[in-house]
Structure 1
Amino acid sequence: MSEPVPAATRGAATGRAGLRRAGLRRAADTLRLVARVAALSLHRPRRPDRRWDDFWRGVSEGSLGEPIIWDAPGAGNEEVRHHLQAMAGLMDTSLPVVDLGCGNGAISRRLTEIFPSVLGVDVAPAAVAAAQSTHRHIPGLSFRSLDATQPAAAAGLARELGDVNVFVRGVFHVLGRRRQARLANSIKALLGATGRIYLVETNVQGGALSYLRGLGATGNRIPGPLRQAISALPKPGHFGAGQRSRAFPARHWTLIAEGPAVLKTVPMEAGGPPGSIPAYWAVLAPRA
């Protein structure tokens, strides 16, 4: 006659079996999600800059009908207020500011609340056209299409404007290391001797799948705004203190302040709450 199995042993075995089943379900869901993302990504244009122009043209023409994922009303205003307060305390607000990667100009307009003039710059002409159409006749606010990763373009703008501050939200994380370095050099030219940069970037740990899962994506369903972004925009990344120190090395830059932040997105479901993406912000000045 066999010895009875102690209850604690049976419970431990049941727990291990449950963990294995949960792990298998998670792995299967991950495979389905990867397949869905791969299928959606087939629609992306090959050139990153072309992706942005096609995206904004699609938004303007109505072929991309989902809400723009990073334009969070209400909660987005709360996020922007935080940035404006930080900039007012850490930057010379008598200088103009350049909003690099301005998109449709929603934040560029808010920057006019604390800066005497704001120039919104975007690599996509369609984004600039949308910004100009939406934000007409705002004193001190203008827009221009320009690729700030091109040193000659940035140098020309620096000669034209003199020292300025720079605001960047959600640009560095979608660039490769080489383009990050070029953009940082362009920003240094724009700042001159007295300007500072305020940057805020997504900082989701664990890679693109963690980013997607954090916004509600599963192997069975991807929310509409997120699905639209996957099919039309560059792959998201993360940009925190480590990436900042590489793109803005200490031998060339002085770190003024940094910290965690939250980047708000539109609701992933109609009528639902805004999404939240872990983010990172920093203020830097170029060394003489």
Structure 2
Amino acid sequence: MSAPVRTGDTARLVARVAALSLHRPRHPDRRWDDFWRGVSQGSLTEPIIWDAAGAGHEETRNHLQTMADLMDTSLPVIDLGCGNGAISRQLADLFPSVLGVDVSPGAVAAAGSAHARIPGLSFRSLDATRPADAAGLAQEIGDANVFVRGVFHVLSRRRQAGLAASVEALLGAGGRIYLVETNVPGGALSYLRRLGATGDRIPGPLRQAISALPKPGHFGARQRSRVFPASRWTLVAEGSTFLTTVPMEPGGRPGSIPAYWAVLGRRPPGGFARP
């Protein structure tokens, strides 16, 4: 693509994204509940863009293997930002109990309906960016592991700090967090182009996400070190991976988004987290 053509395509793509973004609710929590309500009521008909890492999928297998290697799997696990519970269901094959938590009551209702009667699996609506709410949950269930997929990268810095404080409360002395987050090189347009967006056309699942959900961002090692500072956290392991998206076209292949993963434990005051 020549430079003038590329510039023109970029301008058209920016205009399309801006027009779609006008439909987003302003409050971030409203976005999630409106989204899940739209999914359950049928007004949002495109596949959910991140909802591809189901049972047996390579991405899910990688998550479960890493957690089995680096976490105490005798502890329960909390899936923060569980959405419709698709990965929460897979975690139930590894951990004795799984609690899926989401800020959206609509998501929790959908998850409970889709995964009813799975032993050890339950769901609850809770804003995990509010540490006081998480502290109450921690008192209820005791030490736990935490799983987070694709949540930190859409939060403001203030809400990232709140979520990290909640995680700290939930882990207790023995739990660890496994996080995996979008980490696409370049800006937002690089993310969109990777999923097939052009100035002339944006694929349906991506178009739906732009109009309904928060803007994606980066969350790699630099952001992790800011949100989980070494004074309070021990980094157990980290690396590069990918997040799977649904096919952008009917009958197409799933998409793949560059991502970052890390496992961390709390650093006790004056001491070190266990290796």
The alignment status of 1:217 with 2:197, answered yes or no, reads yes
Among candidates 50, 55, 68, match of residue 35 of structure 2? 55
Please say if residues 75 and 274 of structure 1, whose CA atoms lie closer than 8 Å, have aligned partners that are also in contact.
no
The alignment status of 1:185 with 2:144, answered yes or no, reads no
User: Shift in Å at residue 76 of structure 1?
Assistant: 7.6
Count of residues in Structure 1 that have an aligned counterpart in Structure 2: 268
Q: Secondary structure at the match of 1:102?
A: coil
Looking at structure 2, the residues matched to 76 and 147 of structure 1 have their Cα atoms a distance apart, in angstroms, of: 30
Name the amino acid aligned to 1:185.
A
Q: Which residue of 2 aligns with 1:28?
A: 8
Please say if residues 162 and 190 of structure 1, whose CA atoms lie closer than 8 Å, have aligned partners that are also in contact.
yes
Q: Secondary structure at the match of 2:48?
A: coil
The alignment status of 1:118 with 2:98, answered yes or no, reads yes
Please say if residues 244 and 257 of structure 2, whose CA atoms lie closer than 8 Å, have aligned partners that are also in contact.
yes
- Quick check: which has more Rg, 1 or 2? 1
Q: After the TM superposition, which residues 1-288 of structure 1 pair with which residues of structure 2 at under 5 Å, given as runs?
A: 22-72=2-52, 77-288=57-268
Looking at structure 1, the residues matched to 53 and 103 of structure 2 have their Cα atoms a distance apart, in angstroms, of: 24
Looking at structure 2, the residues matched to 73 and 166 of structure 1 have their Cα atoms a distance apart, in angstroms, of: 18
Please say if residues 76 and 265 of structure 1, whose CA atoms lie closer than 8 Å, have aligned partners that are also in contact.
no
Name the amino acid aligned to 1:123.
V
User: Shift in Å at residue 49 of structure 1?
Assistant: 0.3
Looking at structure 2, the residues matched to 103 and 254 of structure 1 have their Cα atoms a distance apart, in angstroms, of: 28
Please say if residues 243 and 257 of structure 2, whose CA atoms lie closer than 8 Å, have aligned partners that are also in contact.
yes
User: Shift in Å at residue 46 of structure 1?
Assistant: 0.3
Name the amino acid aligned to 2:71.
M
Please say if residues 76 and 264 of structure 1, whose CA atoms lie closer than 8 Å, have aligned partners that are also in contact.
no
Looking at structure 2, the residues matched to 89 and 182 of structure 1 have their Cα atoms a distance apart, in angstroms, of: 28
Q: Which deviates the most, 72-81 or 114-123?
A: 72-81
Q: Secondary structure at the match of 2:189?
A: helix
Looking at structure 2, the residues matched to 74 and 60 of structure 1 have their Cα atoms a distance apart, in angstroms, of: 19
Provide Cα deviations, 1:231-265, integer angstroms capped at 9, x if missing partner. Answer: 00000001000000000001100000000001000
Name the amino acid aligned to 1:264.
T
User: Shift in Å at residue 224 of structure 1?
Assistant: 0.2
TM-score with structure 2 length normalisation?
A: 0.96
User: Shift in Å at residue 45 of structure 1?
Assistant: 0.3
Name the amino acid aligned to 2:39.
V
Q: 1:93 to 1:175 in 2, by over 3 A?
A: same
Q: Unpaired runs of 5+ in structure 2?
A: 269-275
User: Shift in Å at residue 75 of structure 1?
Assistant: 9.1
Please say if residues 54 and 90 of structure 2, whose CA atoms lie closer than 8 Å, have aligned partners that are also in contact.
no
Looking at structure 2, the residues matched to 234 and 75 of structure 1 have their Cα atoms a distance apart, in angstroms, of: 27
Looking at structure 1, the residues matched to 111 and 219 of structure 2 have their Cα atoms a distance apart, in angstroms, of: 26
Please say if residues 238 and 261 of structure 2, whose CA atoms lie closer than 8 Å, have aligned partners that are also in contact.
yes
Looking at structure 2, the residues matched to 176 and 286 of structure 1 have their Cα atoms a distance apart, in angstroms, of: 22
User: Shift in Å at residue 147 of structure 1?
Assistant: 0.1
Q: Secondary structure at the match of 1:267?
A: coil
Looking at structure 2, the residues matched to 256 and 152 of structure 1 have their Cα atoms a distance apart, in angstroms, of: 26
Runs of 4+ that moved beyond 2 A: 73-76
Provide Cα deviations, 1:165-217, integer angstroms capped at 9, x if missing partner. Answer: 00000000000111111100110000010000000000001121111000000
User: Shift in Å at residue 80 of structure 1?
Assistant: 0.5
Name the amino acid aligned to 1:155.
A
Looking at structure 1, the residues matched to 54 and 105 of structure 2 have their Cα atoms a distance apart, in angstroms, of: 27
Q: 1:23 to 1:76 in 2, by over 3 A?
A: farther
Q: Unpaired runs of 5+ in structure 1?
A: 1-20
Looking at structure 2, the residues matched to 283 and 144 of structure 1 have their Cα atoms a distance apart, in angstroms, of: 24
Of all paired residues, the percent bearing the same amino acid is: 79
Looking at structure 1, the residues matched to 222 and 61 of structure 2 have their Cα atoms a distance apart, in angstroms, of: 26
Name the amino acid aligned to 1:219.
G
